[in-house]
């Protein structure tokens, strides 16, 4: 049985995906320093009196991120009111609030430490990778909330748990390396005049910046992860056919998008599509894990309120 306002998890999930994509656009447009090194104020003001475009872009991201905190709290209050103590949906909602708080702290640290604009330090690469992993945790919590809202059965250890753990780790590692690669593409744009093979060889030269040399790492890890996720989808086909098929199709589409991204030298629009597909793959995998972790035996329904 579904509780009232069961659309809340999907609304929160959709809003956060939009904020994540806008955050990527902030990086790609070089607007991360649009508010200077000030946080939570922007250029030392609550509302900048003479904002430039970069300031408007960055301030919009901050405002939409603030709304994310509000909708996360709404989802938490709803879950606490509708579901009984100890219910798995409550845990997902609490996890979502925890990740959204960490998201705000990471954003503040990136600004205050000056890890924006043209900063090409190793610290920025580490922060941006961790920041993306945190967003995956956030998205994962609301994907779980959406699933667990619809099913009141208790959790159990999923069948073939090690395979699922490997799939989750594969997505996390691939996403972290993808974040670093995207940063490198922003700070060191690819030379479209060179063929792909020549370009790769030149980028591996010792004199190149480490962000350029690391470009080759992400495609290798991504292809390996894709093969593993296809195996996960095939393995769980009997238990969750639709979810497994969705995961496998999304993985294949994402691989094609990645290849196109490389061929086109990572244009902004393609990077956003690639990021959206990465989140879609993650949501499909998390949903599959959630379904595999639900006991088959039905239990009494919770009260609708």
Where are the domains positioned within the chain?
A: 1-150, 154-305
pLDDT of residue 270: 94
Q: What is the mean pLDDT of each run of 10 residues along the chain (305 residues)?
A: 82 96 93 90 87 93 95 96 93 97 94 92 96 97 93 80 94 97 92 72 87 94 97 91 95 97 89 96 96 65 45
pLDDT value of residue 191: 74
Taking the C-alpha atoms of residue 198 and residue 220, their distance in angstroms, rounded to an integer, is 17
Asked if residue 154 has a cis previous peptide bond (ω within 30° of 0), the answer is no
Length of the chain: 305
Closest CA to 299 of 87, 137, 7, 135: 87
Q: What is the pLDDT of residue 255?
A: 97
Burial environment of residue 300 by CB neighbours within 10 A (0 to 12, 13 to 18, 19 or more): exposed
- Minimal CA–CA distance to 114: which of 35, 209, 21, 214? 35
Residue 257: count of CB within 10 angstroms of its CB? 18
Report the pLDDT value the prediction gives residue 303, as an integer from 0 to 100.
Answer: 45
Residue 297: predicted pLDDT: 54
pLDDT of residue 136: 97
């Amino acid at each position: 049985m579904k509780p009232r306002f069961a659309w809340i998890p999907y609304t929160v999930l959709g809003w956060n995906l939009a904020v994540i994509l806008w955050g990527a656009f902030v990086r790609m447009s070089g607007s991360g320093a649009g508010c200077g090194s000030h946080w939570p104020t922007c250029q030392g003001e609550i509302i900048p009196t003479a904002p430039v475009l970069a300031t408007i872009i960055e301030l919009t991201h901050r405002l939409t991120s603030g709304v994310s905190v509000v909708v996360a709290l709404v989802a938490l209050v709803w879950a606490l009111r509708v579901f009984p103590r100890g219910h798995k949906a409550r845990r997902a909602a609490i996890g979502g609030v925890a990740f959204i708080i960490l998201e705000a702290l990471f954003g503040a640290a990136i600004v205050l430490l000056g890890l924006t604009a043209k900063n090409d330090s190793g610290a920025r690469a580490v922060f941006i990778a961790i920041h993306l992993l945190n967003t995956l945790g956030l998205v994962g919590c609301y994907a779980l909330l959406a699933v667990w809202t619809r099913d009141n059965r208790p959790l159990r250890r999923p069948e073939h748990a090690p395979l699922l753990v490997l799939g989750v780790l594969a997505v996390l590692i691939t996403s972290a390396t993808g974040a670093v690669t995207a940063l490198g593409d922003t700070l060191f744009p690819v030379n479209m005049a060179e063929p792909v093979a020549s370009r790769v060889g030149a980028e591996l030269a010792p004199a190149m910046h480490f962000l350029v040399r690391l470009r080759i790492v992400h495609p290798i890890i991504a292809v390996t992860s894709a093969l593993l996720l296809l195996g996960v989808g095939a393995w769980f086909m009997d238990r969750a056919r639709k979810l497994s098929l969705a995961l496998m199709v999304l993985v294949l589409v994402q691989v094609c998008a990645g290849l196109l991204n490389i061929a086109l030298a990572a244009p902004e629009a393609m990077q956003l599509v690639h990021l959206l597909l990465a989140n879609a793959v993650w949501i499909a995998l998390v949903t599959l894990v959630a379904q595999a972790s639900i006991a088959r035996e039905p239990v009494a329904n919770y009260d609708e309120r």
